[in-house]
Structure 1
Amino acid sequence: MKTIVYTDIAVRQLGALPDEAQERVTEGIERYAVSGHGDVKALSGRSGYRLRIGSYRVIFDEDQATILAIYIGKRETTTYRRN
């Protein structure tokens, strides 16, 4: 299992989501950290990855032992331009 680290911004964004969405996103990130399974794609034009959890996206970077969650939010046209 990889260690999950959230940036300060990601913590605030996760806290601003509705309770049900917070639960789904947290479970999705944990599932990916444990098993490596999830709808993950490399970002084009920049480093990092995105994890799709329903209509929510987690923009993250990872190494052998750590997942760094950078952005958590609903999929919008600005989701990938923000960070």
Structure 2
Amino acid sequence: MSRYDIELRPAAIKALRRIDHQDQRRIRAAIALLGENPRPPSATALQGRPGFRVRVGRYRIVYTIDDGVLLVVVITLGHRSDVYRG
């Protein structure tokens, strides 16, 4: 399987900065793994919009995959209680 590039949208970068360092490390590791396998068994397809989400403890990473150019785009991430809000 080919390696996918990772792109973080500005909203994802901003959200990551607000998370404590220990959780940041876990989230960064999970994002790096998405480059190796963008559809891990733990990923769930989103309902009502395109993309996937993966759980990292209390946090969720919301992303899309472009197989044509081997790119994973992290749309946003955040606490599970508010990551899906508008």
Structure 2 gaps, min length 5 = none
* 1:80 partner amino acid: Y
* 2:79 partner amino acid: K
Aligned to 2:77: 72
Equivalent residues of 1:39, 1:53 under 8 A apart: no
Equivalent residues of 1:28, 1:38 under 8 A apart: no
For each residue in 1:4-26, what CA deviation from the matched residue of structure 2 results, as whole angstroms up to 9, or x when unmatched?
10011110101111001110001
What is the distance in 1 between the residues matched to 2:35 and 2:15? 20
Of 13, 22, 26, the residue aligned with 1:20 is 22
Shift of 1:79: 2.1
Give the number of equivalent residue pairs: 81
* 1:44 partner amino acid: Q
What is the distance in 2 between the residues matched to 1:81 and 1:24? 23
Shift of 1:38: 5.3
What is the distance in 1 between the residues matched to 2:26 and 2:66? 23
What is the distance in 1 between the residues matched to 2:4 and 2:41? 14
Percent sequence identity over aligned pairs: 27
Aligned to 1:53: 56
**Two-structure CA RMSD over aligned residues (Å):** 1.3
Structure 1 gaps, min length 5 = none
Aligned to 2:42: 39
TM, length-normalised to structure 2:
0.85
